[in-house]
Amino acid sequence: MDPLLLARLQFATTTSIHFLFVLVTLGLVTLLLYLQTAWTITRKPAYERLTRFWGTLYVINYVLGIASGILMEFQFGLNWSGLSRYVGNVFGAPLAMETLVAFFLESTFLGMWIFGWHRLRRGVHLALLWGVALTAYASAFWVLVANSWLQNPVGYEVRDGIAHLTDFSALLTNPTLGMALGHVLAAALLTGGMLMAGISSWHLIRRTPDFALFRTSLRIGLVAATGAVILVQGFGFAQFGAVGPVQPTKYGSEAAKDAAVADWTARFGPGDYTPPVLANGGLGFMILIGLGLGLLVFLVPLLYRDWLIRLRFPLYVLLLAVPLPFVASILGWLAREVGRQPWMAYGLLPVERAVSGVGGGVMLVSFLGFSLLLGALTVANWTLIARHAARGALDPALGRPPGAGPAGPDDDLPDDAFDDAFGNAFGNVSGTPTDQPDRSRYTPAPA
């Protein structure tokens, strides 16, 4: 058993699975900002109900995502001691900033937001959610600052065999950072929008009592996903021009590749400095999925007079397409990480010098143990999300007034009230306005 291979497999597993949690966190918090801001401005209860519903799914994903992030940090320390020893003075600086932002500020804001319902003023409560979102973006920024340094080491000098940071500003202007950050944030919004559109489609297909609410969230999710996929494509293709000059073996010309390999052979000895085929294969499939999701733009016009819902077939398409942003994001992340092989820090630290000096048996136990834990977290996350999503937005637990119990079966809408709501959601063919039932537990879609 090759310890290096097992360490690389564990790194790929932990970072990829954690990245799935990150995508949902960043995507949903952006959409929550819109929902709660609209509720604060318009005072329409429908926006409050939607904020509570999607906020519940966000909190579930965030909590379990934190656990997956802790496991990822553990595998760094256990498997890559050479990385910490050689470049820790540089690589650790942005990671320390991310830890302060994510585990202190973001978690504090989120805790106050969760327990601040009906205790804080609307504006203060909204400000807390903005704080959660901004610190989440800042966390993603610092993680990509650290990762971009591994892709293209800058602003350092080597003294006594250890890299030391000499120019902090160089980390922030790294050419591998800007387009990658835009690409990741857009991919997260695409993922969140598709998740919102897919879950809403499921409820609209089933014609649940909170039909009008999910009609609204379908529109929000689809428009957000459509705008995001355009940004994903733009930032994605722009990376080729930024990354090619600094990573010639990934996207550079043949002459640049040959020059880089000759330099590395002189410095580190003969070896295979060509990235694995997996990197280009994953990149190709990611591009295909991204281009396919670009077809969402043709669904947006169907929102007019609710043709998207009337036809029903597009609802099934949106539901089945929910996994695609996740698959594309993992393929893109693998292309970015595998594409810099065989380097842990590109052109500076080979992976065989970064791995910890442990035996294959120990590394295998570590790999299996971490994989089982991450698998359990993933299954628990999506089981809880599916369960709470299936309950609908009628009366989410998050934000329920103190002392108020959950809505019981007797509190559901009667059939005639549902028929009125269903007719209003589709639009009245005769042109006569359809009255909504005046029920405290049901709110029509906001205009």
Q: How far is it, in rounded angstroms, from Cα 253 to Cα 240?
A: 11
User: Dihedrals φ, ψ of 351, to 5°?
Assistant: -65, -35
| CA distance readout (Å), 391 to 46, 386, 433 | 16, 9, 29
Q: Does the reported pTM lie above 0.95?
A: no
Mean pLDDT of all residues in 428-443:
34
Q: How far is it, in rounded angstroms, from Cα 354 to Cα 344?
A: 7
What angle separates helix 415-426 from helix 211-243, to the nearest 10 degrees?
A: 40
**In the structure encoding, which two tokens stand for residue 384, read together?**
């809880």
Residue 157's SS3 state is: strand
248 and 257 Cβ atoms separated by less than 8 Å: yes
Q: State which amino acid sits at residue 140.
A: A
Q: Confidence class of residue 436 from pLDDT cuts 50, 70 and 90?
A: very low
Task: Please identify which residue in the block is written with the tokens 């791995």.
Answer: 355
Condensed to tens digits (0 to 9), the pLDDT of residues 314-344 reads 999 999 999 999 999 999 988 888 888 899 9
Q: H-helix or E-strand containing 164?
A: strand 162-165
pLDDT at 414: 32
Mean pLDDT of all residues in 122-129:
95
User: Across 71-85, 125-139, 279-293, 407-421, which has the greatest mean pLDDT?
Assistant: 125-139
Q: Confidence class of residue 443 from pLDDT cuts 50, 70 and 90?
A: very low
Q: Confidence class of residue 130 from pLDDT cuts 50, 70 and 90?
A: very high
User: In sequence order, which residues have a C-beta less than 8 Å from that of residue 95 and are 6 or more positions away?
Assistant: 142, 143, 146
347 and 260 Cβ atoms separated by less than 8 Å: yes
The full 3-state SS of 326-388, as one line of letters, equals HHHHHHHHHHHHHCCCCEEECCCEEHHHHCCCCCHHHHHHHHHHHHHHHHHHHHHHHHHHHHH
143 and 98 Cβ atoms separated by less than 8 Å: yes
Condensed to tens digits (0 to 9), the pLDDT of residues 404-435 reads 666 543 343 333 333 333 333 333 333 333 33
Residue 99: CB atoms within 10 A of its CB come to 15
Composition of the chain by helix, strand, coil, percent to 5: 75, 5, 20
Residue 226: CB atoms within 10 A of its CB come to 21
Mean pLDDT of all residues in 159-187:
92
Mean pLDDT of all residues in 124-142:
95
